[in-house]
Amino acid sequence: MRIRVTHETVHRFEPPASGVIQTLRVTPRNHAAQYVVDWRIDISADCRLEPQQDAFGNIVHAFSVSGPISELRLLIEGEIETQDTAGVVKGAVERFPPSLFLRETALTSADEAIAAYAAERKPGERFGAFVIRAGLVAPTTNGPTFIRTPERIGRFVVGATPARRCSAWLLRSRSPHRPKTNSIV
């Protein structure tokens, strides 16, 4: 199957930024079931893209732009030829053994809420619904209440309000350091 990818990101800064430094992780790699036929990254500013590899073998591109910058556009386009391998990926760059990602660390160990969720959840039940049903948090009814009084369960902040409402409420007050946006994320 041939897949055509087009992705555009527009950053708007108000006030204009004095400079921008970005690292892009948008370039796929070839492997046994995937061939990158064509790939292009266009940036609206005059800069030099520096291709690199991160510690995991991913292709990354870094660039910097001096300001003032009020808008920066990134256009990523490409074409990829893929083959169905029933989900088995062969020939990909894997610098670390799978066991590295399966080990438990202080940041990945299950706390009490996650352990209870794994043991007691109903089929198809999401974490937010579970913690309300289990009495670990009280349900909230609107965006401002959710933002002002989130309930913390272990490492998670949980509320029952749909994310789209919370995002819309959050974007009403802008930080001078946040890129200006005309859409809700």
185 residues of the chain, pLDDT tens digit each? 999 999 999 999 999 999 999 999 999 999 999 999 999 999 999 999 989 999 888 999 999 999 899 999 999 999 999 999 888 888 888 888 888 888 888 888 888 888 888 888 888 888 888 888 888 877 766 655 554 445 554 544 554 444 433 333 333 334 444 444 433 33
Domains annotated for the chain, with CATH where assigned, are 2-83 (2.60.40), 112-170 (no CATH)
Cα(96)–Cα(138) distance, rounded to whole angstroms? Answer: 42
Q: Which residues make beta-bridge pairs with 12?
A: 71, 180
- How many Å apart are CA 8 and CA 183, to the nearest integer? 14
Question: Residue 82: CA atoms inside 13 Å, Cβ hemisphere, count?
Answer: 16
